[in-house]
Structures are given as C-alpha cells and as structure tokens.
Chain A
Amino acid sequence: MSEVEQGFSLDGEDLSFRLGDTVLQAATRAGRYIPHLCWHPDFAAHGSCRICTVKVNGRAAAACTVQAAPGLDVESDTEELNAQRKTLLQMLFVEGNHFCPSCEKSGHCLLQATAYQMGMEGPHFEEFYPDRPVDASHPDILLDFNRCILCELCVRASRDVDGKNVFAIGGHGIGTRLLVNSDSGRLGDTDMALADRAASICPVGVILPKRRGFVVPIGERRFDAVPVSEQTERSP
C-alpha cells in the first residue's frame, strides 16, 4: 500500500497514512493512541464501543470507521472527548458485573486499562447487576459473561479466523448478549479449542483459559507497568 502525499492532522500534529486507512489505523501505525475497545488491528472495524469517537472537522465520528483523507482535522485527546470516553466506560462498567480485584484478567484487561487512562474513579451511574451465569462446561475454557462488553471480537475471530462460528449475538437493547453455538447453548458442546484465535482475543475477562489463574502475578501484568496509551497495537 502506498503512502499518501499529504497527511491529516491529529490533535494538531501531522500524520501520514496509507490509502484505505481509517483514522484509527493510521494513528496506531504511527504509535499514536486513540482509546478503543472493540477495534483490533487484525479485524475490520466494528464501531460498537464508541470509545474511539473523535471529532473530524468538528463532527463526531468513530475513528475506527472514518476513512483517513488528506487535510482532515481530527481532534482526539481533548478534555471534552476524554470526558465522554470516561462516561462510555462507566456505562460499560455498570452494565455488566465488573469486580476487578477478583478478576483473573485484571492488569491484562483493556477495559480496566482504558478506564485508568481516562481517569475513571467510580461508576458514576447506578449499577445494573445483571444476572449472567458463567459457563464452565468446556474442559479448557471458562466463559464469564458478567464481563462482556459486546465488542464481538470473539464472534469475528471464531467466524473469520477459526472458521468455527462458535459465537453469535442475541437479544436486543440492554438484553443484548453473547450466544454460544451448540444444541445445549454451552461451550463444552462446541468444537472450540484453546489454540483458537477466539480463545485469546477477548479484551476483557470473558474468555479465560482454565487452570491458569494468576500465573503472572498482579503488579507484573501487561498494563501494570506501562499504561495502555504507551503500548498501541501495531497494525500488520
């Protein structure tokens, strides 16, 4: 892919991009951080979490879905947009059941790391406390739906990479939820394997390998030493 002659502006700094790049892809390639949850460099844009919402020439848009174009003026790291991101994160926290201190993903969790990055100190809204039973039927993989943020990365990975279609999305509105594809609806009755891409793609603590609890001690985990803003995923 070719570099485009003229770049676009991200928070006042010029950024080059390749033809076909979205704003988020171009920023990530340049090592610039735009907060995001449902986006992953290996997958097509999804646009559901809205954490990456930026202002493009003054208009709000999700950075993961906006095509980069010469001369665009993109604002991302502003007080207003970061406050909005914090509110979106608080919405995700109150929607599910997120208890970081007891979560195996703590320190490896993109939701938690992003919330720290945005200065979130409390839930702000009243908690929903939904009733979401865990699925421990699979011999190697635990599903804890309490933490699901509906990014659909597992749906996409299982469908597009693993070719297994283990997951799908069901329900609507606040009742939207992750479904498992088997007659029983349980993971143990699918052909999912620990080596699948879907087993390691979850940005939060829904899909976890069994019998690997706290192998990396708290304090030495991915986001413990270096904040999420300083370790952007490199695009392929």
Chain B
Amino acid sequence: MPQLSSAPGRAAPDVGALLVRHGQDPHALVQVLRELQAQHGWLPRQALAEVAAGLGLTLAQVQGVAGFYRFFHTQPVGEYRILFSDNVTDRMLGSPALMADLCRRLGVAPGHVGEDGLASVDRTSCTGLGDQGPALLVNHHHAITRLDAARVAQMAGLIHGRVPVTQWPAEWFEVRDQIRRADVLLAEPAAPGAALAAALARGADGMLAEMKRSNLRGRGGAGFATGLKWSLCRQAPGSEHVVVCNADEGEPGTFKDRVLLTRHADAVFEGMSIAAYLIGARRGLVYLRGEYRYLLESLQAVLQRRRQAGLLGTAILGHAGFDFDIQIHVGAGAYVCGEESSLIESLEGKRGTPRIRPPFPVEHGYLGHPTVVNNVETFCAATHVALHGGAWWAAIGTTKSTGTKIHSVSGDCARPGLYEYPFGTRIGRILEDCGATDTQAVQVGGPSGVCLSAFEFGRRIAFEDVPTAGAFMVFDRSRDMFEVARGFAHFFAHESCGFCTPCRVGTALVVKRMDKLAAGHGSRHDIDVLFELDKLMHAATHCGLGATACNSLRDTIAKFRPAYERHLKSLHFEPGFDLDAELSIARRMTGRDDAGAHLEKLS
C-alpha cells in the first residue's frame, strides 16, 4: 500500500518513470493520472505540470482531465480515503447513519480532510454492490461490503491505528457472486477457446451470419443489433479496427457485469476475440470502471493465461493472420463514460464528454479507427452464439428480444443477487423468485430506466415492453418514492459531464426543486417546473444522460403523486427561498436567537 506508507511525508512521485512506462503517450493520460494518484494519494499541481510537459499537453488540459473524473483529487486528501456507495439501495440499508458514525469517530466532516490528514470520508455513486450493501470503497481500490455499526467502529479504530488496509479483516472485502438463477450465460462456462474455435471453423462470413441469425441485441441498454453493428464496423474503411468492451457498469443498481468479469471473464474475452476475428481488429480494450479496480489483477491473470494458451497474441489458435490482444483501461469515476463515445474519449485520455454523432464509433471510434463497443454481457452472449449457433439463441426469449437477460436484483427482497431469465419474463415472476413482498414499485434499468408500480407487474422484460440494462431495484410500501426520485436527481446532477446547457443546468435545477420540496417549502408550481425541466431535457440534451435524467421523476410524479403532495407546503405559490433562514447570518452576527429574531414566530 504505497499510498499509505508514503503519507504524510510522501516522497515526490516519480512522474518520469511513470510516463516512460506509458510510452509518453498523451492518450494514456487517464491511466497515468490513476497510477500517479495511487502512488501519491492525490494529484498536486506540480505533478500535473510534469505530466503535461512529458506528454506534450498543456497544464490546463491535464487539469481539465484531472478535474473531470470524480476519483481524481487535485487537493490533498486523507491517507485513508473512504467513499460510501450512495445508491438508494445502500441508503435503504442504513449507509447514511453509518457514514455519520464513521465521520464522528474520525472527527471529519463529509467531503473534508481532518486536520491530522488521516482520513477523508465522502459519498460516491453506486459501487455495484447493491445486493450486499451498504458498501464503501477504500483508497479507490478496495471494496468493503455488508457494512454495519460494528464494522464501522472497528474501521475507525484501524484507521486511528494507521493499520494498512491490506491488514484489515479479510471477510470485509468478500464480494459474493450471489447467483440466484442461472440460465445459459451464468451456467458453468465452456472450456476457454471452444467458442473461438467454433467461430474460426465457421469462417468470418459464416460467424457473422450466425450473429445476425441470433438477432442478439446489445445489453448495454440501447438494444442495437450486434450482428449489424459488427458488419457495419467490418465494412468501415480504416487502417485498423478496434474492439472495446464497455465494463463501465455505472448504472446505479447494476452489478451483473461485476459477476461476469469475476466468474466468466474467459467468455467476455472470447466474445471480444470473436468480434475481432469478424471485423479484423488487432487491438482490444476493456474499459473497467474505477469502482471495480479490485478486479484488475484477476482479469490480467485471465488475459495472461489466454496468451499462454494461444487464445490471444499472434496467429491465434494457429490461424495465420489472426492477431489480437486485449488491454485493460481503468476508469476513474464517471457515469457518463458508459455512453460509448464518452468512453472512447476517456480511453483516449480526455475528458469523458460525449461526441457529436454521427459519425458513430463503428466508423470513427477509438483514435478515429472503426470501433465496435459492446457491453460485457453482449460479448458473453456472442460467445454462446458461437458455441451453439444463432438459431439456438434466437429460439430463447421473444421474437424481438432473443436470448436471456441477467438482472441485478436489490432492494426490498429476501434474496438479492443475480437472476437470469429468458426475455419475456414477467416482472411479477422476478419479484416472486427474489422473495419480494408488499412491493410498491420496481425501478427497472436503473435511474435512467423505468419505475413500475404494482399494476404494471404483469408487464414483461423485453425491448418491446420493459427494456432494461440489468438493474432491478425493489421498493416496498414503507419507502417514500419521492425520496427515491430525489436520490436519483442528485445522482444525475453529480454525474452530468457539464458539456451541454440543459443537462448541466437542468440537473442542478431539478436538485434544487426536489430539495426544496424535501425541506417542506414546495408548492404545486414547483411540480409544474419539474415537468417543464423534464420536457426540456428530454428534447434538448446532447446525450442520453440528460435525456433520461428525469425519467424517474416523471414516473414517480405520475404514479406516486401523493408522495410528492405530502411534501408540499401549500398547493399554491411558495417562494423559492426561506426568508427566515436568510436572516440566519444576521442573527449570528448580532448574537441573537430569541423569538423576536425569527420571522415565522412573528407571524
């Protein structure tokens, strides 16, 4: 743990050696900053200047990238950096009280470093451990699951004693797979190489035909036909083609890719290799979200094993001219990078701002090369299509939504975890299987998805009915759906990249309105403004993040309106500020806090 032992008298980071290791390539900037921070704990301006000089970038450009990603710190942080996962499911399991307790024990305020520089405690977006929360991340590297008061108390003691994280109780770091229902994707994996050999035997044309026959659609949410995407990329002219695996599983409540990467990494890499064979790619990149940093070593080991087995490298499986290898890029906390063009910008070492499309990545992707970007689960599925054929896959599920889908089930249910079903499965069936009772609502597909109420539990998971990228968060009747939507509003404002006006300002305005309602100062007018903001953001944003940012707001207002109206002070006009609260500074300055110094007590 160099970031612990070197603090606070940390040695100056060796920027030069780091840059040499990355070939002084400006496109490696995000990786350089990650590793620099892992060495030093945070990113001092002087180090950024050295990075800029070494990579041929300006200091401001490097600062711009460092300031974009939520995991990068350009101000000093504690030797121990604790980030509580702040998804609604973590909060339902009690994370706010646990975080307050840890802050009290460590004597720090959230988001600030204590004077001793020992620790900083803050929140972060969902860490992908919703089935075993409350969860937190330590030093952007280790994940701790199933937090409780005892663990928090013990953790404070370990931090006070400056015990290295590697010596903390091992069971804290146990991340369980919790596969509750396995179908084809989560079943026992085939031998590594079997699917690739099957694809090679069919030839590129034959395998592409199988992909099209399978009618497999992308599992990241948009549902674009995978075979078509691959054939478009294959036809796109370019000196090089690239395969990218989107493992930036940032949609709150989703954690299926974490399990696929833990248990079925071979199937993921094999799917990428099949894509590479079909489109003629030599280079593969995995964009692993920063929250899953702890998976890096095991994934590297799988890659190494595949190289040794002749499944990566040159002349794969003895096939002359089929050369392909995979590198892993680790993200640094940015939900928007799940959008494929932002992801590519991030891979190129830039701020993860979505590109103007068209051109789409299949024509103009990573470094301008035609690039296939697919979700982890999509590559797994492609591996199964190679093994069993497109017709076999197409026979599972519905006509328009073939195959199976993995759901990350969390929230109010007896058995959270992964559930794999053929497409066409009823929402109610999933609720029964996971042991959900007295269910008020299900958020399918995460905050950007859809919120279903009880009368819709007969609907089915399918692109043509309820599409999903994999999150399935259950809320029973004890939950305040307004608070659920308010949490999601905060999430989108936190994750907005800031590029376009409607998302940058709109998500912040939505938060202000929701907080105003929560504080009991809302009126019907505020709800009208929320509708107006939703409509605008849906129509005018640059990318899907802003366009979907108000989905849960719209759904919950429509379906759970009493939850909002409970928060309204009056059904008519209410000012946007609290006049009495505005006088608090005057009260403090005059040292008065009697009844006469409060407006509300005068009226």
Task: Write the residues of chain A forming the contact surface with B, with a CB cutoff of 8 angstroms.
Answer: 45, 47-51, 53, 60, 62, 65, 67, 84, 87-88, 91-92, 94-95, 125-126, 128, 149-150, 165, 167-176, 179-183, 185
B60 touches A168 (CB 8 A): yes
B540 touches which one: A84, A171, A176 (CB < 8 A)?
A: A84
Known interface pairs A60-B540, A126-B577; A65-B64 also in contact (CB < 8 Å): no
Contacts of B351 in A (CB 8 A): 169, 172
A173 touches B536 (CB 8 A): no
Complex-state Cα separation, A185 to B70, whole angstroms: 21
27 A-B residue pairings within 8 Å (CB atoms): A49-B501, A50-B500, A62-B542, A88-B502, A91-B509, A92-B501, A94-B509, A95-B508, A126-B509, A126-B576, A128-B508, A150-B504, A167-B60, A168-B63, A168-B64, A170-B64, A171-B68, A172-B496, A173-B493, A173-B498, A173-B504, A173-B507, A174-B493, A174-B504, A176-B504, A179-B60, A181-B59
A47 touches B59 (CB 8 A): no
Q: For the complex formed, measure the closest distance between the CB of B53 and the CB atoms of chain A, giving whole angstroms.
A: 11
Complex-state Cα separation, A171 to B497, whole angstroms: 9
Complex-state Cα separation, A58 to B551, whole angstroms: 21
Contacts of B64 in A (CB 8 A): 168-170, 179
A95 touches which one: B496, B504, B529 (CB < 8 A)?
A: B504
A84 touches B356 (CB 8 A): no
A183 touches B49 (CB 8 A): yes
Complex-state Cα separation, A94 to B505, whole angstroms: 9
B111 interface contact, C-beta 8 A:
no
Q: For the complex formed, measure the closest distance between the CB of B290 and the CB atoms of chain A, giving whole angstroms.
A: 14
Q: For the complex formed, measure the closest distance between the CB of A29 and the CB atoms of chain B, giving whole angstroms.
A: 20
Contacts of A88 in B (CB 8 A): 501-502, 536, 540
Complex-state Cα separation, A126 to B522, whole angstroms: 14
A172 touches B67 (CB 8 A): yes
Q: For the complex formed, measure the closest distance between the CB of A169 and the CB atoms of chain B, giving whole angstroms.
A: 5
Contacts of A48 in B (CB 8 A): 499-501, 542
Task: Write the residues of chain B forming the contact surface with A, with a CB cutoff of 8 angstroms.
Answer: 49, 58-61, 63-64, 67-70, 334, 351, 356, 358, 493-502, 504-509, 512, 529, 532, 536, 539-542, 576-577
A92 touches B59 (CB 8 A): no
Contacts of B529 in A (CB 8 A): 125
For the complex of A and B, list the 4 residue pairs with the smallest distance between their C-beta atoms, beginning with the closest: A176-B498, A181-B60, A168-B60, A91-B505
Complex-state Cα separation, A141 to B20, whole angstroms: 39
A174 touches B501 (CB 8 A): no
B63 touches A170 (CB 8 A): yes
Complex-state Cα separation, A47 to B500, whole angstroms: 7
Closest to B493 in A: A173
Q: For the complex formed, measure the closest distance between the CB of B578 and the CB atoms of chain A, giving whole angstroms.
A: 12
Q: For the complex formed, measure the closest distance between the CB of B111 and the CB atoms of chain A, giving whole angstroms.
A: 13
Other than the given A45-B356, A128-B508, 10 more pairs (CB < 8 A) read: A50-B541, A50-B542, A51-B501, A65-B356, A88-B540, A165-B58, A169-B351, A170-B67, A172-B68, A182-B60
B500 touches A49 (CB 8 A): yes
Known interface pairs A48-B499, A176-B504, A183-B49; A168-B61 also in contact (CB < 8 Å): yes
Closest to A46 in B: B356
Contacts of B61 in A (CB 8 A): 165, 168, 181
Contacts of A168 in B (CB 8 A): 58, 60-61, 63-64
Complex-state Cα separation, A50 to B576, whole angstroms: 26
Known interface pairs A45-B356, A84-B540, A168-B58; A173-B497 also in contact (CB < 8 Å): yes
Closest to B492 in A: A173
Contacts of B577 in A (CB 8 A): 126
Contacts of B70 in A (CB 8 A): 172
Q: For the complex formed, measure the closest distance between the CB of A115 and the CB atoms of chain B, giving whole angstroms.
A: 13
Known interface pairs A88-B536, A165-B58; A174-B496 also in contact (CB < 8 Å): yes
Contacts of B512 in A (CB 8 A): 126
Complex-state Cα separation, A172 to B494, whole angstroms: 8
Q: For the complex formed, measure the closest distance between the CB of A166 and the CB atoms of chain B, giving whole angstroms.
A: 8
Q: For the complex formed, measure the closest distance between the CB of A49 and the CB atoms of chain B, giving whole angstroms.
A: 5
A91 touches B506 (CB 8 A): yes
B502 touches A91 (CB 8 A): yes
Complex-state Cα separation, A28 to B259, whole angstroms: 53
B539 touches A174 (CB 8 A): no
Complex-state Cα separation, A33 to B168, whole angstroms: 65
A174 touches which one: B58, B498, B541 (CB < 8 A)?
A: B498
Q: For the complex formed, measure the closest distance between the CB of B507 and the CB atoms of chain A, giving whole angstroms.
A: 7
Complex-state Cα separation, A48 to B495, whole angstroms: 17
Complex-state Cα separation, A147 to B114, whole angstroms: 35
Complex-state Cα separation, A92 to B505, whole angstroms: 8
B505 touches A95 (CB 8 A): yes
Most chain A CB inside 10 Å of its own CB: which residue of B494, B496, B497, B499: B499
A50 touches which one: B49, B356, B502 (CB < 8 A)?
A: B502
Closest to A51 in B: B501
Most chain B CB inside 10 Å of its own CB: which residue of A53, A172, A185: A172
Contacts of B499 in A (CB 8 A): 48, 150, 176
A174 touches B508 (CB 8 A): yes
A181 touches B496 (CB 8 A): no
Contacts of B540 in A (CB 8 A): 50, 53, 60, 84, 88
Complex-state Cα separation, A170 to B499, whole angstroms: 11
Q: For the complex formed, measure the closest distance between the CB of B202 and the CB atoms of chain A, giving whole angstroms.
A: 37
Contacts of A45 in B (CB 8 A): 356
Q: For the complex formed, measure the closest distance between the CB of A152 and the CB atoms of chain B, giving whole angstroms.
A: 9
Contacts of B68 in A (CB 8 A): 170-172
Contacts of B60 in A (CB 8 A): 165, 167-168, 170, 179-182, 185
Contacts of A181 in B (CB 8 A): 58-61
Complex-state Cα separation, A94 to B542, whole angstroms: 20
Contacts of B356 in A (CB 8 A): 45, 47, 65
B539 touches A60 (CB 8 A): yes
A91 touches which one: B63, B358, B501 (CB < 8 A)?
A: B501
Q: For the complex formed, measure the closest distance between the CB of A220 and the CB atoms of chain B, giving whole angstroms.
A: 31
Complex-state Cα separation, A169 to B69, whole angstroms: 13
Q: For the complex formed, measure the closest distance between the CB of B543 and the CB atoms of chain A, giving whole angstroms.
A: 10
Contacts of A172 in B (CB 8 A): 67-70, 334, 351, 496-498
Complex-state Cα separation, A176 to B64, whole angstroms: 9
Contacts of B509 in A (CB 8 A): 91, 94, 125-126
Closest to B533 in A: A87
Complex-state Cα separation, A172 to B352, whole angstroms: 10
Complex-state Cα separation, A177 to B58, whole angstroms: 16
Q: For the complex formed, measure the closest distance between the CB of A178 and the CB atoms of chain B, giving whole angstroms.
A: 9
Q: For the complex formed, measure the closest distance between the CB of A190 and the CB atoms of chain B, giving whole angstroms.
A: 9
